Amino acid sequence: MQLSDVKRWQEAEAVNTDPYGRAVVTFARAWAEAMERRLAALPSPFVEHAVALVAGPAMDDARRLRPPSEGLTGFQFGCVIDLLAAAWPRGKELQRWHNACMAPPDEANRASDAGATINPALLTVDVRPRHRLR
């Protein structure tokens, strides 16, 4: 796996020793490696802005390496995006793809331009009554 910020990656590994935190670092590595493999297989004209093409399929590749019982929470997934945005050479491009998947274009662009990750763990609850009780 290529790194743009080795120190940031090493810090993440050092502090995430519990199973919850370790899952973030482990999945981030597996996903980045899967994206790098898929990017390397693309014809050269597509490689420059191709993270959006490979992120989804590469995520599936990385998930196949984990036992089905070891899923990630939405919060953990946001941490994966943050870590890769900070430490992986294509991370900002990945963060932009993620934000575009999570929000309307204007909100996604604002978050990406600010270097922020839109929280995938947010839940919207519709409290309007669907059926009236009699």
Confidence band, pLDDT 50/70/90 cuts, at residue 83 = very high
Other Cβ atoms less than 10 A from the Cβ of 21: the count is 15
Mean pLDDT of the chain: 89
* Both structure tokens of 92: 């900002």
**What's the rounded Cα separation, in Å, for the pair 56 and 48?**
17
For residue 55, the model assigns a pLDDT of 94
- Residue-wise pLDDT for 98-124, tens only, equals 999 999 999 999 999 999 999 988 766
Q: How far is CA 131 from CA 33, 120, 124, 125, 134, in A?
A: 48, 29, 19, 16, 9
Residue 38 has pLDDT above 60, yes or no: yes
128: buried, middle or exposed (CB in 10 Å: 19+, 13-18, 0-12)? exposed
Residue 127 has pLDDT above 70, yes or no: no
Residues in the chain: 134
**What's the rounded Cα separation, in Å, for the pair 130 and 118?**
29
Which of 83, 86, 117, 84 is CA-nearest to residue 102? Answer: 117
Amino acid at 53: L
Amino acid at 124: T
Chain position carrying tokens 């297989």 = 41
* Both structure tokens of 127: 């409290």
For residue 43, the model assigns a pLDDT of 81
Identify the helix (H) or strand (E) that includes residue 21.
helix 19-40
| pTM across the whole model | 0.86
